[in-house]
Amino acid sequence: MIDVILAIGAFAYLTCLQDPSTACIITISSTLFSALYLLLQQTRILHPPINKIECHIEAEWRSRIIGTVHAIILSIGSIYSFTEWTNFTPLSNPMHAWHVPSDDLPLPRNYIVVPLASFFVGYLQYDMIWMLLHKAKHFDAGMMVHHSLFIAITHYVLKGYYLCKPFAWLSLCEISTPFLHLRWFYAVMGQKENKWYFVGSTWFMVTFVGARIVGYGLGLWDLWRNFGYWEKLPYGLYAVIGGLHVGYLLNIFWGVFVVLSFVKNLKRRRIHADGQKQL
């Protein structure tokens, strides 16, 4: 339990360092996701029948519902964030793509990426606490590293209004999350032969590779292509850039298993289909 207390204390401290409006959104985000989890727990809305799955699986079921809600909201926000790139063209002020001074115009909070990133880190902090509370049954080293990394990165860039442009393609990575959870829901219900499990698996593979590997890779290329704009910014930003590369390596690592899992599922469906024909 000490790890939960320390994590809550660290998150509270980092949140308090932010601009009051940003801190407010982070706090509201974490609180709303926590409240939604408790609501699902008490009402059993969108749950499988009672005693259909084990209690600890039900806890993860609720967590994945919330993860899906967050991912849908963030994906929609990501698409809107791309429209703000017109503010970052050489005809206006390309430096705003990488750093917006707090006394500059347009104000950073006028960009959707600021409240959206605040909403994002609020979810990550909620989810990190959830993982720590359920570590006995749901410990995931990869996700712990991922969340720790992006909580630190997001707090840093929010504090200095750095990397406004890259947030669009970073947040678009969440587009694969609903499909990940969809296939998991069918899997734990023992319905891997259901067509919707295959649909979820297919779209998860497509969106994961498309957004988290191809899109992310193009984003890193754009980052380095514009090195001249951010090379003289504080050295802390270089740590953030390094963290983004670590996140990309994690995606490549996970991507191998995503593709292999899809191929395995495709072969299983073909064998099942052949068996049905013989019958």
- Average pLDDT of the segment spanning 157-173: 92
Instruction: Using the predicted structure, report yes or no on whether residue 18 has a pLDDT greater than 90.
Output: yes
Residues 6+ apart with CB under 8 A from 229: 94, 95, 97, 98
| Element counts in the chain: helices (H) and strands (E) | 12, 0
Could you give the CA distance from residue 101 to residue 103 in angstroms, rounded to a whole number? 5
Domain borders along the chain are: 2-278
pLDDT at 192: 84
The phi and psi torsions of 162 (rounded to 5 degrees) equal -100, 160
Q: What is the pLDDT of residues 240-264, one digit of tens each?
A: 999 999 999 999 999 999 999 888 8
Instruction: Using the predicted structure, report yes or no on whether residue 210 has a pLDDT greater than 50.
Output: yes
105 pLDDT band (50/70/90 cuts)?
very low
- Average pLDDT of the segment spanning 116-135: 95
98 pLDDT band (50/70/90 cuts)?
confident
Could you give the CA distance from residue 137 to residue 58 in angstroms, rounded to a whole number? 12
- pTM over 0.85? The answer is yes
